[in-house]
Amino acid sequence: MSVLIFVETAEGKAKPSSLEAVGYGAKVAEMLGTTATALVLGDAQELEKLGNYGASKVLHVADSRLNTGIIQAYSNVIAQAVEKENASVLVLAKSSLGDAVAARVAGRLKAGLASNVVELPNLSNGFVVKRSIYTGKAFANTMISTEKKILAIKKNIYSVTPSSNTASVEAFAPTLNDSDFVAKITNTEKATGTISLPEANIVVSGGRGLKGPENWGIVEELAKVLGAATGCSKPVSDLHWRPHHEHVGQTGVKVSPNLYIAIGISGAIQHLAGVNSSKCIVVINSDPEAPFFQAADYGIVGDAFQVVPKIIEAAKKM
């Protein structure tokens, strides 16, 4: 009986959200008096370093066909790994891939699935997890009574302090059929920028208040100084001022950074639904009645073209 953690990778390295999942899963394993095993698919590097985050063992499926996220194949491998390790709990980061995989594995194993988990489980009376619901406006305590349980944890809810521990690495060769690869990924368009928007700890977003794509330099410069990802509101992407993969909101990318800076964004409910899990929200807008100020931790009423350069100057000095 163990806890299995599915680790997503990008360019052969574990994603930050998956490192959080490893730390979370290791703590759940400790609570259950068992061990934590990480599962990595495809080409990957430095697997033993997952021990820094609490994994005692890493199962590695070194099959290059798994370098792309073919959901049926991933689901099959994860289900087989759960059975191999006799895992009672599967932990993974909530993401577009994680959501699709978790649902399929839950159906195959008849496991209870809880998504958007924001705290460690309460084991005092069964197995109860706290979940974020209604796009972050409320929480629900959910009991999972099935023998096998799947937890998709929300980004940025579990702090991880790496140790010097290392994990043993074990090759795993699950049974894969041609039917697992019926779906083909023919093309992948990667988002521009060095920092992935869903994984970013700081996000700088702009809205129509910037008046045009030619003024986006201040957003990009602030993001560069802060080591942040760039985002935008839906109207901006609809106007093709910015690419659609930067659209943050209910129908775009949902983010949970430590810091979210909104420049010239009014704060429509659809946008707020995508950012309200941010730990700190800073709003810069010339309209003192902008709805976004109601959700902000800090607000600056002023012209972005005057305010943002001063913030950039101060950030450079820091």
Please give the C-alpha separations between residue 102 and each of 50, 96, 160, 201, 233, in angstroms, as whole numbers. 21, 10, 23, 24, 29
198 token code pair: 């869903």
Asked if residue 1 lies in contact with residue 34, where contact means CB atoms within 8 angstroms, the answer is: yes
Which has the closest alpha carbon to 253: 191, 193, 210, 184?
191
Confirm or deny that 267 is annotated as ligand binding: yes
Task: For residue 205, say whether it is annotated as part of any ligand binding site.
Answer: no
- Residue 108 assigned as binding residue: no
Count Cβ atoms below 10 Å from residue 160 Cβ, excluding itself: 17
Measured between alpha carbons, how far is 309 from 221 in angstroms, rounded to an integer? 9
Q: Is 268 annotated as a binding residue?
A: yes
Amino acid letter for position 179: S
Helix axes 217-226, 304-317, angle to 10 degrees: 20
Contacts of 21 by beta carbon, 8 Å cutoff, 6+ apart: 5, 6, 7, 91, 92, 93, 153
Asked if 282 and 266 touch (Cβ cutoff 8 Å), the reply is no
Q: Is 45 annotated as a binding residue?
A: no
Q: Is the dihedral of CA 104, 8, 46, 188 positive or negative?
A: positive
Residue 193 assigned as binding residue: no
Beta bridge partner(s), residue 92: 6, 152
CA angle at 176 for the pair 171 and 178, rounded to the nearest 5°: 145
User: Do the annotations mark residue 285 as ligand-binding?
Assistant: yes
Residue type, 33: G
265 is in an annotated binding site: yes
Pull the structure tokens for residue 296.
Answer: 């902000």
Q: Is 266 annotated as a binding residue?
A: yes
| Known binding-site residue numbers | 208, 264-271, 285
- Binding-site residues for FAD, in ranges, read 208, 264-271, 285
